Each structure stands twice: as structure tokens, then as C-alpha cells.
Structure 1
Amino acid sequence: MTNDSLTYRDAGVDIDAGTDLIERIKPFAAATHRTGVLAGLGGFGGLFALPTGFSEPVLVAGTDGVGTKLKLALQLNRHDSIGIDLVAMCANDVLVTGAKPLFFLDYYATGRLDVEVATTVIAGIAAGCQQAGCALLGGETAEMPGMYSGDEYDLAGFCVGIVEKSALLTPDRVQSTDVLIAIAASGPHSNGYSLIRKILAVSGADLAQPCGETSLGDALIAPTRIYAQALLPLMRDGLIHAAAHITGGGITDNLPRVLPSHCQAVIQRSSWSLPPVFAWLQQQGRISDAELLRTFNCGAGMLLCVANTDVDVVCAQLAQAGEQAWVIGRLQPASDAAPQVIYCA
């Protein structure tokens, strides 16, 4: 037994580093300030006043992480956009209910706090919050020696939004005559990376090799697209009956989550070309079409159910907002026993 006095630093936790990190990230959080924020970082809890003007306000909360895409970020030593992924995975889920994101909190866990890396990650989180129009209200940094090896870290977060109860997007708004509009993804977003990493290992691919107009590494690390600024005006005007965030499970499993049981989706595969990164993954992994469509977004990051009379105006407004959108299919009546998504050529 040692007679020396032990410190928290001896156990692997650097309190000073944590304090330094808080000071560094305060400007990032301040840049996301919006009406409703009542206090800055440093308190025991984030304070946010509910917006006025709602008759029956409903709070919507979503939580998520970025999965094993973190492994790729570590491999590439690219930490500037993984925080955008974190916000996107939460904010997009809140958005599809019709809710406007209000605030976001993050949880950053690591075995040894690297202040430079953590600052870069949280700067990305703040950038994602700005894209989503929400405030970075607070978070937690946990240094846990023995839980993570080397420079590994993990991320999780949650987002809270608000919507008028009468404006909630629920399956009963959907009509069997609706048209399906897809909005382009920026890549695999933050889903399927365990399979992606398996394909990289089996193929021995060089992440610097070309993939379409960029490198394979750049195509895989591209941050998840955040759709709030483009969709909220359409939702406010009542032009969207339902929206599905295409995450793990692909179109096959995510679209049915917003459809009533009497509706079936017919997806026209010829309506879009598989982006190069997905074509490469399918070829290198010898992935079947069904598996590909149930694992990845395949280039369609968000699907909308829209009345057939509103298709042109919705597509025009999405284009004006900088989004690539196209008609990907339609709905039709179906019995309870029928599959809710079918694919046709």
C-alpha cells in the first residue's frame, strides 16, 4: 500500500481539463442562443421558457447517438462533423411529428479527455443546432478511465421540440391517394456503419480512393442532413400529411411507422439512381437489393406524404430551400395483411 496521497488525476480523471473544455465551448453554445434560453452553460440544469402563442402546446422529445460511425471518425481523425450527425439524428426524429426543435443536450463520454478533440466535436454539435434552429442548452462530459480504450469516445444526445396539438403529424392525416416525395440524403447519414466497417475490412479498401466526385472516406464521413429549415414552412402551411426519417431499417421499416394500416406504399425504384457510395457498398458487400433497402437510406433521407394536388408546390419550395427532391412513389389502399411497402421497377 502506498503512503502517497492519491488524487483524482492519479485515477485518470483530469478535472482541470474538464473545466478548460467548458470555457472553450461556451462561445459555441452562445452562438445557438434563441428566444427561450434563460441561462448559459455551467449550471446544474438547462433553463428554457416555453414559447407563447400555443393553445395546446405539445413537447416532443427524441434521443439518439451516432453508432459506430464514431469508429470511422477516429480512423480518419475527423471530428468536426460527427456532432452534426448527433443533432441530426435527434432533431430529424422530432421534426417528423411536425415539431419545431427548441433545444438540444449532449453527452460526451471518454476514457481520457482530449480537450482539443472534444472541443472540435462540440463545435460540430453547435453547428448542427444552428442548422436545426435549436439552442445547445447544456450537456455532460464524462471522463471514465477503464470504460473506453485509447482515444475512444462516445456520443449521445436528445432534442426537445414543440408543436400545436392540432398540427401534430399523425397517421390519420394520410390519405391513400397521397404521393410520396423523397428528399436527398447526404450519404449513409449515421446508420449501417457496422456493416460499412465490415465491408471496408473485407474489401481492404483505401479510404482515399475515389467515390463519385469525392473520396470514399469523405463520402462515408459526410454529416447527416438536417431538414428542419426546409420542412417547417411546409408543415406550417399544412402541405405535409406525414414525414418519415429514413434511418436504420431504411425505407422498408421506417415508412410504415407513419402510415395508417389501410395504406400501402409503392416505391418506384427507377425514380432515382443509387448514389455512388451505396453502389460501392452493394458491390463490395454483395448486398441484395432487399438488404440494401432495409439497412441504408440509399440516397433518400426523408420521405413525405403529400396530397397529389400539392406535389408541384412542395417540390418547388424544397428546391428553393436548397433540397433535392423527387416523386419516389405513391400510396394506395391495402388490406391489413398486405406489406406496407412494395418496390417496383
Structure 2
Amino acid sequence: MTQADMDTKPVTYADAGVDIEKANRTKQRIKYLAHKTFTKSVLSEIGGFGGLFQIDKKKYLDPVLVSSVDGVGTKLKIAFEMNLHHTIGADLVNHCVNDIAVQGAAPMFFMDYLATGKLDPDIAERIVTGLADACKHNGCALIGGETAEMPGFYPDGEYDLAGFIVGVVERDKVITGKEVVPGDVLVGLPSNGLHTNGYSLARKLLFSIAGYSPETYVNAIKGKVGNELMKTHKSYWPAVRRLVEAECVSAMAHITGGGITENLPRVLPKGTGAVVELGSWPVLPIFTHMQQLGNISQDEMLRTFNMGIGMVLVIPAKKFKKVQTVLERAGEKGYTIGRIVKGDRKVSYS
């Protein structure tokens, strides 16, 4: 191309790497997927400058909004390598749902932010399909988001994904942990695997130290490494909703980055601590194998990974049997993993 050609040829956004027409077609497909999650409270269409959502005043007398925002971390790196994208959306939604569920909040609506160097319509659709399916499963609406195309910012084939959720709970039903007292029982709900935390260390152990690939079958975990690492972050809302309605929990902790060690103290009031009994629940094989690969101390494992427990419930002793019944009816397994004691808002292990 000559200088004259460069001087006369019009430059478009597509020349800079952003195809507006392709992006618009992708957004139309996203709009269709999001519509399937809409409830009667959604007052706006996908594509506006803001999403509109009306709180049901007949259902809530003194509503409090509860919000959270999060991402899925370096689990994305494995998704890229495996070209597996439909579960990532569910990971994100379920993580955010769990974060507000611990305060007793029912999820109302969700919004996502998807950023990539060059938009791949097929990958975007698979991600949003996962978002929409998880939203529908959790009873919340996907009312909008942002799909950003930023050439040169992300490597080819990679993207970042974040989500924002808003839920609602009656003011007098907010679960804060203030009613937690010594003698309360700790009940742990099992995780599917790593969920969305600890992947930087997991990738170092499994890929760098052990030399595995996602397709490597490992006898110790009875499966392929990639499949194990991509297990979906579990939503506890179906069970938690019933527990909240039955008014039988004093506090709940979503066990994410920091493990039980750092997450449980977040819901403990002053003057209390927790004793967690090791061996009271089955530790998933993936955690045991990673610990052996890196000769990692037990304390380090417990403050990095969930170790097989994705949610901890704090239950008044007199309501323990009721909780067992509620969990059984919800099809959820619960393990008695410890108790609340007098202390300084720390977790000790026995």
C-alpha cells in the first residue's frame, strides 16, 4: 500500500480490530439468552444504558438490598486451554449467589462484564449460555452487562469475566452472625472441588511441578486433571433458601479464597471463636494429591483451598435436628465439623 493509498482510504473501527457489526450480532444472541431468565420484575430490555428491576412490595415490607461482585480468577486459564467455556458462566453466577445467600438474601438480578481482545461469537455465546442457565436455576434474572472488545489488551483466545449480583432480604431477617454464641454447631456443606479459588497454586502444582496436562489421567483423583479442575462452582441457594425460611441458622460462611481459616471468622461476633475437627468430613482426592505434590503444610492447605467444604453453617444446638431434616429434604449432605467456643474470632483445628 502506497502513502497515497493510506492518505485516501477511509479508516474504520474494524481496521483497529473492533468489528461493530459482529459485536451487534453477538449481542442479539445474548439478548435472546438473557430473555429466558426474565421475571415479571424486570422492567427494561437488554441493550439499554441501565437495567431496571422492580422490588415486589407485596412480598417485602422492609426490603434490604444485598450486593456482591466477583470473578473466577485463573480458572479461566484452564478454560482457555481446554476450550471449555459454558461452565465458566455458571461458576461466576453461583459464586456470587452464595456470597449474598449467607446474609439470607434471595438473588434478584445479575449483570456481567466480558472483556476480550477480539470477540469470538461462539465463545461469547457459550459463556452467556452458562450465565443464563445458572441465573434461571437460582431464580434470578440476567438483566444486562457489558461486552468489551479491546484489541491488543488481551492475548488471542483469552478474556476476562466478572459479575455483579443484587439480592433482597427483609431487614429483620438479615443474617449477620450477631446471634452466634458458644455451643453453636458447625455444619459443613460439601464442595464439588476447587470451585473458583486456589487455581494459581493448583496450576503450579499440577502443571509445573507434576508436569500434567489437562488431558492427563491421574489414578489418585480417578479422572483427568482438566475435568477435575473445571468442575462447576456449586450453588448452595436451593438448600440455604429453605434454611433461611425455617429460621434455623445463626450465620453462614461461603468458603472461598482463604479457606475455612479466613472465611469463617468473617461472620463470628466478638468474644467467639471456632473449633473445626479435622477428619470430620471427606477431603476430596484432588486436595490430598496436590498437598503431596508440593509437600504443603496442612495450615497452608486450609487457608488456600476449601478442602471439600464449600459452605459452613452455624447452627444453634437446639435447632440441629431441624437443620438435618431441612438439608435432607433439599437433597443436600451436611457434615458436623465443629463448634463455636469463646475466643477472639479465630479458627483452630483439632
The TM-score range, normalised by the shorter chain, is: over 0.9
Aligned to 2:263: 254
> Given the alignment of the two structures, is residue 26 of structure 1 paired with residue 35 of structure 2, yes or no?
no
- Separation in 1, partners of 2:241, 2:282: 27
Equivalences for 1:122-271 in 2 at 5 Å?
A: 122-199=128-205, 200-208=207-215, 209-210=217-218, 212-271=221-280
Paired residue secondary structure (2:288): helix
SS in 2 for 1:332: strand
State whether structure 2 residue 46 is matched by structure 1 residue 41: yes
In structure 1, list runs of 5 or more residues that go unmatched.
none
- What displacement does 1:322 show? 2.4
**Partners of 2:323 and 2:221 in 1: CA distance:** 29
Aligned to 2:125: 119
Q: Would the aligned equivalents of 1:133 and 1:229 in 2 still touch at CA under 8 Å? A: no
Evaluate the alpha carbon distance shift between residue 213 and residue 325 of structure 1 in structure 2; reply closer, same or farther with a 3 A threshold: farther
Partner amino acid for 2:248?
Answer: L
3-state SS of the aligned residue for 2:213? coil
* 1:24-46 CA distance string (max 9 Å, x none): 12232122122311123121211
Equivalent AA in structure 2 for residue 205 of structure 1: Y
Q: Could you state the TM-score of these two structures normalised by the residue count of structure 2?
A: 0.94
Superposition deviation, residue 54 in structure 1: 2.1
Secondary structure at 2:86 match in 1 = coil
- The answer to whether the 8 Å contact 1:132/1:227 transfers is no
Letter in 1 for 2:329: Q
Q: Number of residue pairs matched?
A: 341
Q: 1:305 corresponds to which letter in structure 2?
A: V
* Structure 1 letter corresponding to 2:209: V
Specify which of 60, 73, 76 is matched with residue 54 of structure 1.
60
State the secondary structure of the residue aligned to 2:134: helix
Structure number, greater radius of gyration: 2
State the Cα RMSD in Å.
Answer: 1.3
SS of equivalent residue, structure 1 residue 172? coil
Instruction: Report the counterpart of residue 300 of structure 2 in structure 1.
Output: 291
C-alpha distance in 1 between matches for 2:86 and 2:158: 15
Equivalent of 2:108 in 102, 109, 115:
102
Q: CA deviation at 1:183?
A: 0.4
C-alpha contact (below 8 Å) 1:131/1:228 kept by paired residues: no
What CA distance in whole angstroms lies between the structure 2 residues aligned with 1:80 and 1:303?
28
For normalisation by structure 1, the TM-score amounts to: 0.96
**1:161 partner SS:** strand
Alpha-carbon deviation of 1:133? 1.4
Moved over 6 A (4+): none
Once the two structures are superposed, what CA deviation does each residue of 1:183-222 show, in whole Å capped at 9, x if it has no partner? 0111100001111111122210132313534322111101
SS in 2 for 1:226: coil
Classify the secondary structure of the residue corresponding to 2:178: helix
